[in-house]
Amino acid sequence: MPLRVHVDVVSAEELIYSGETEFAVFPGEAGELGIYPRHTPLLTRIKPGTVRLKIPDHEDFELIYVSGGVLEVQPTLITLLSDTAIRAHDLDEAKSIAAKQHAEEALKNRASDTNYASAEAELAQAVAQLHAIKKLRKRPGS
C-alpha cells in the first residue's frame, strides 16, 4: 500500500477538499512545492494558482484553484487555508476573462484613482484561474 497524507483545502466559505493524497503540488511564492507523505514540517505562503492532488485510485490529478493563502505541512497532514478556493471544473471562464480585462484596463489607466496593488492582485488571480481552466481542458476526455 502506497504512503498517503491527509489534505484539507479550506476557503473562507467552506471546506473544498478533505481526504488522502499520494502526492500534492502547491503554487509556492518561489515556485511549485511538491509534497509527499512524511514531508518535513513546513509553513509558507502560496500565491494564486492551481493545487494538484494525486488522489489514490484516480488516474488524473484533482485540480483546485486557490487565490493564495497559507500552507502548513506536517508529516501526516497538509492544511491549506485560502480566501478563495474553487475546484477547477467549477471555474467560470467568462468571469475570469472579464476580471482579467478589467484588471488590465485598471493598470493601463494611469489617470484613475486605481489602487495598483489591488489591480495587480486581481490580474494575478484571473490569470491563475484561466491557467487552471487550461490545465483542466488538456486532460484526455475533457
Res 111: pLDDT:
54
Average pLDDT of the chain is 83
Predicted confidence band of residue 108 (pLDDT cuts 50, 70, 90) = confident
pLDDT higher than 70, residue 61 = yes
* Neighbour-count burial of 113, counting CB atoms closer than 10 A to its CB (0-12 exposed, 13-18 middle, 19+ buried): exposed
Predicted confidence band of residue 139 (pLDDT cuts 50, 70, 90) = low
In the CATH hierarchy, which fold is given to the domain comprising 91-137?
Answer: 1.20.5
| Paired sense of beta strands 31-35 and 23-28, if any | antiparallel
Res 110: pLDDT:
59
CATH 1.20.5 intervals, the chain: 91-137
Whole-structure pTM value? 0.72
- 48-62, 101-115, 118-132 — most confident range: 48-62
- Residue 55 and residue 2 in contact, taking contact as beta carbons nearer than 8 Å: no
Predicted confidence band of residue 24 (pLDDT cuts 50, 70, 90) = very high
Residues contacting residue 23 through CB under 8 Å, at least 6 positions apart: 34, 35, 36, 53, 54
Superfamily for domain range 5-87: F0F1 ATP synthase delta/epsilon subunit, N-terminal (2.60.15.10)
CATH 2.60.15.10 intervals, the chain: 5-87
pLDDT higher than 90, residue 22 = yes
